[in-house]
Amino acid sequence: MKKVGILTGGGDCPGLNAVIRAVVRLAAQKDVEVIGFQNGWKGIIDGDIVKLDLFSVSGILPKGGTILGTSRTNPYKNPGDVQKLIATYKKLGLDALIAIGGEDTLGVANKLHNDKLGINVVGCPKTIDNDLSGTDFTFGFDTAVNIATEAIDRLHTTAESHNRIMVVEVMGRHAGWIAVYSGIASGADVILIPEVPIDLNEVCDIVKKRHARGKGFSIIVVAEGAEFKAGQVVTKEQILDSFGHVRLGGIGEILAAELEKRTGYESRVTVLGHIQRGGTPSAFDRVIATRFGVKAMELVLDKKFGRMACLNGTEVNDVPLQVAVGSLKTVDMKLYDIAKLFFV
């Protein structure tokens, strides 16, 4: 191995820079040159590169976001982009490519591997949603949960002071991991996730029972992708991104309005949105991101392509990319059953 490329795709995430740093530092010890691509798959399509060395990654460990930039570009969306990608890979004389991302970014990596186009690719699991299969946790998730938990903790005092229902909308398109973890950690009274349709009557009953026994406030955590039993996903726009996803958001506002109308109790909504993605990564995320970066570079050095670094228990291992992106990892219902014990 003489030259390796690296890119970060999809939504930004705390811990991305820790992965980049780990890859570059191990590569330097093995006399391997690292080329960074700006703005995800768009960078390799356009040939937008930056050389990464020990100086360029110095001090980036605690920084959020990604020094390489990111995008939701899908090379398979536009005819000819895959050929441009291959041309850039060959022109630079790359021996391998490390793709850091979630289901969409790694889905592209898996397809490139399966199409046998001469692109030697290795994956690294990134998403605050924690919905990639094959790994117990993805980096970025712990930071997002800590941010959401702190926000919900702060809302408790306002809710109690004003005798309000506080609806907190957190991220989670198809998996409610952030909602469940932050909801349990903050003592939320109801947690609503995409895996279980929202029963408004049930939620209203819980709130009314709390008020009846003297609890004049309630905290309800809802994932952005949660749906009412009627079945329609709440979206701000019907515009699709290059991977076919709609932009989610708005479930919290509708839920708060419905609860106030049905219970008569004043309701407010707080949408945490991109606050969950921002800022410095937690210690846990810095450590696993570093371990993932080292593992990804080791996979490259061992020529074990088409695989992704993963966390199983406390051990960092690797799995085929196909396992990681074959199906979404949704919330463990045993964990959700524990959460529901406190919906009283």
Residues 123 and 171 in one domain: no
**Cα distance from N-terminal residue to C-terminal residue, the chain:** 59
Residues 6 or more apart whose Cβ sits within 8 Å of residue 155: 166, 168, 219, 270
Pairing of strands 49-52, 121-125: unpaired
Residues 12 and 135 in one domain: yes
CA distances from 131 to 104, 271, 280, 316 (A): 12, 21, 21, 17
- Is 336 among the domain residues? no
Largest separation between any pair of C-alpha atoms in the chain = 71
CB 51 within 8 A of CB 176: no
Instruction: Say if residue 79's pLDDT is above 60.
Output: yes
CA distance 123 to 19: 11
Residues 267 and 301 in one domain: no
Q: Which of 47-61, 155-169, 178-192 has the lowest mean pLDDT?
A: 155-169
- Is 156 among the domain residues? yes
Residues 230 and 189 in one domain: yes
What CATH number does residue 301 fall under? 3.40.50.450
Residue 341: CB atoms within 10 A of its CB come to 8
- Is 343 among the domain residues? no
- Is 335 among the domain residues? no
CA distance 189 to 160: 13
Query: Who wins on pLDDT, 254 or 243?
Result: 254
Instruction: Say if residue 201's pLDDT is above 70.
Output: yes
What pTM does this model have? 0.91
Percent of the chain with pLDDT over 70: 94
Residues 146 and 264 in one domain: yes
Which amino acid, one-letter code, is at 86? I
Which amino acid, one-letter code, is at 164? R
Which tokens in the block code for residue 156? 């408790």
Residues 92 and 149 in one domain: no
pLDDT at 22: 98
Residues 164 and 254 in one domain: yes
CB 6 within 8 A of CB 26: no
Q: How many domains, the chain? A: 2
Dihedral sign of CA atoms 37, 39, 44, 50 in order = negative
Instruction: Say if residue 242's pLDDT is above 80.
Output: no
Q: What is the DSSP string of 127-188?
A: -TT--BTT-S--BTHHHHHHHHHHHHHHHHHHHHHHT-EEEEEE--SS--HHHHHHHHHHT-
Domain of 203 in residue numbering reads as 142-278
Which tokens in the block code for residue 316? 């960092």
What CATH number does residue 234 fall under? 3.40.50.460
Q: Tell me the average pLDDT across 189-212.
A: 93
CA distances from 317 to 30, 141, 228, 301, 308 (A): 21, 19, 38, 15, 8
Query: Where residue 239 falls among pLDDT bands split at 50, 70, 90?
Result: low
Residues 172 and 258 in one domain: yes
Residues 206 and 106 in one domain: no
Domain C-terminal end among 263, 278, 293? 278
Pairing of strands 33-37, 3-8: parallel
Residues 21 and 77 in one domain: yes
CB 69 within 8 A of CB 38: yes
- Is 339 among the domain residues? no
Instruction: Say if residue 232's pLDDT is above 50.
Output: no
- Is 334 among the domain residues? no
CB 263 within 8 A of CB 204: yes
- Is 24 among the domain residues? yes
CA distance 279 to 225: 23
Instruction: Say if residue 236's pLDDT is above 70.
Output: no
- In terms of Cα–Cα distance, which of 73, 60, 62, 47 is closest to 20? 60
Instruction: Say if residue 157's pLDDT is above 60.
Output: yes
- Is 292 among the domain residues? yes
Residues 285 and 232 in one domain: no
Kindly list the catalytic residues. Answer: 129
Residues 111 and 133 in one domain: yes
